[in-house]
Amino acid sequence: MGHGSIIRSGYKTETGYFCGKDYDLNSGKPFWFFIAPLDGCKGEKFFYVRNMPNGKYEVTGEGYFLYESTFLKEYKKEALEEMGDTVYYYFFDEKTGQVIKKESGKIKHRTDENTPNTESNE
C-alpha cells in the first residue's frame, strides 16, 4: 500500500473509491490506478483533498497500480466491505492553516456485475 493522488474536476465519489484505466505503452497492456479512502479514527474512511490553482482537485488516498482486472475486482470488493455508508473529505486551508472536514453523503454499494465500475478521471 502507498499513497496515491488523482487530479479531478470534482472531488466527491459515489462509489467510495476512484479508479481510472490507461495503457502501458511499453507492454501494450491495460492497467488501473485505484484509490481507496484512508483509515481514520473509529473506522472513519477519508480522502485528503487539495484545491488546485486551475479549479480542479487533487484527491489523495491509498493508491494502487493494478495490471490484472481480477485484482481490481478484489480491491473494489475489499474496499466496499471495509467501508461504511459515508466517506469524509479533509481540506487543508492554506490561508488559515485549518483543516476542514466535509461529508460525502451516502455511498452506493454496488453489487451488480453490470454496473459501471470506474469513475472518470476528469
| pLDDT tens by residue, 74-109 | 988 888 888 877 889 999 877 788 889 988 766 766
Q: Percent of the chain beyond pLDDT 90?
A: 30
75 lies in a domain? yes
Q: Is the pLDDT of residue 19 over 60?
A: yes
The three cell numbers of residue 111 are: 453489487
Mean pLDDT of 51-64: 91
The three cell numbers of residue 102 are: 466535509
77 lies in a domain? yes
The three cell numbers of residue 104 are: 460525502
87 lies in a domain? yes
Kindly report the average pLDDT of the chain as a whole number: 82
121 lies in a domain? no
The residues facing 2 across adjacent strands are: 63
115 lies in a domain? no
Number of domains composing the chain: 1
Q: Which residue range(s) make up the domain with 20?
A: 2-106
114 lies in a domain? no
The three cell numbers of residue 19 are: 479508479
Tell which wins on pLDDT, 117 or 41.
41
84 lies in a domain? yes
Dihedral angle sign, alpha carbons of residues 107, 75, 71, 24: positive
7 lies in a domain? yes
Which pLDDT score is estimated for 109? 61
Burial of residue 31 (number of CB atoms within 10 Å: 0-12, 13-18, 19+) = middle
Q: Percent of the chain beyond pLDDT 70?
A: 85
The amino acid at residue 37 is P
Dihedral angle sign, alpha carbons of residues 10, 14, 16, 18: negative
Q: Which residue matches cell numbers 459515489?
A: 14
Which pLDDT score is estimated for 90? 92
